[in-house]
Chains A and B, each alone.
Chain A
Amino acid sequence: MTMPRSGWRNRRHAGWWAFAVHRVSGVALALFLPLHFWVLSQALGGAAALDAVLAWTDQPLVRPSEVMLVLFLAVHLTGGVRLLIIEFGGWRESWQPTAIAVAGGAATLCALVFALNLG
């Protein structure tokens, strides 16, 4: 067998998970955007055309993915702001776990509010 590389036991720390969430959410949002723009441009054919596509999103399987996307957006934002602070504001070792917790918590709260609002 080939020599195994750095393994998963090496990755169980907050900073790595923060990266993983940031990467997954970023890629998901990047792939979603063209679709999002396409949906909105249906309005070029009038309100009815846009409504036809929006109706599709009311399906029970699509609703959770909307909440997921909102969560992805919120968590990518909070995680990104944390990175901007580290890169431009300076590093304080003791702040790191708190910063990650705050970023994750704020994003989850935002997604929860959205989900509850959806009704």
Chain B
Amino acid sequence: MTRETDPHRTATLSVRVWRGGGEGAYAVYDVPRRPSQTVLDVVTHIQRRIDPTLAYRYACRVGMCGSCAMTVNGRARWTCRTHVEAVAADDALTIGPLAHLPVIRDLVTDMREFFDKWARAKGQFAPTATRREEFARIVPESEARRAADAAIECIGCGICYASCDVVAWNRAYLGPAALNRAWTLHNDPRDGARTERLAAIAGDAGCHACHTHQSCTERCPKKLAPTASIAGLKREVARAVLAGELV
């Protein structure tokens, strides 16, 4: 007898979903259980079959875009890649918007602050060469490239940001994603904004605010380690301070 044919298992899930803005309440919906059901399937069922006023985001639904990130039973997850079986062991499911971001409505958050901090951390590549120069030669096994490669796969889903307590405690903190991106660029020899970027990510709102909780690393669906990137940034800032290079 498998879990799915077990007659004692309920045929419906009782799902609590956040409705409202920053102020609101959880509404309860009964959703039929299905094999291999994901949390995104549950939310979609509610919006299409029960309550069309429910607001939520998704796009690819195959774990590539990060749009469907929400808080599921207290933890930030990609809902398209979260099987109901894995998180609703006692048939209880609570779905809310990502934490630490203003709520526009229901499960939709305003991501502007997340991306503004990305920009403040100078998380953009600053080119130095033109089409007339030779191609840059990057050695894949070099320490710098390996450091960048370990952190480069971030798709900006916001799960680390929503999982980080320092983001909640220190409103100016740039957050794990922005700092992780800054680290990949710091390790790119083609980039021309090294000095400005180090100054941008240093200090009370930058890498020095990280307390190595490792919540970001625990929750990242791409298995990245922003904690490691931020530790690297701390090392590089210390080096720059001692060398008199930090502006």
Contact = CB atoms under 8 A, between A and B. Distances in A.
Contacts, number: 84
Interface residues of B, number: 38
Nearest to A5: B99
A37 interface: no
Contacts of A36: none
A15 interface: yes
A16 B235 contact: no
Given A6-B163, A91-B227, A13 B215 contact: yes
Contacts of B75: 7, 9-10
A88 to B, nearest CB: 6
B96 interface: yes
A93 interface: yes
B96 A4 contact: yes
B206 interface: no
Interface string B39-79: 00000000000000000000000000000000101111000
A2 B22 contact: yes
B213 interface: yes
A contact residues, range:
20 to 34
Contact of A6 (B18, B100, B228): B100
B165 A6 contact: yes
Chain A at the B interface: SS class: helix
Given A4-B96, A91-B227, A93-B225, A13 B76 contact: no
Contacts of A15: 212-215, 217-218, 227
A86 interface: yes
Give the interface centre of B23, B97, B212 by most chain A CB atoms within 10 Å.
B212
Contacts of A30: none
Nearest to B168: A5
A91 B228 contact: yes
Given A3-B103, A5-B100, A19 B74 contact: no
18 contacts: A3-B18, A3-B97, A4-B99, A6-B163, A6-B164, A7-B74, A8-B74, A9-B73, A10-B215, A11-B165, A11-B215, A15-B217, A18-B212, A19-B213, A83-B212, A86-B212, A93-B217, A93-B225
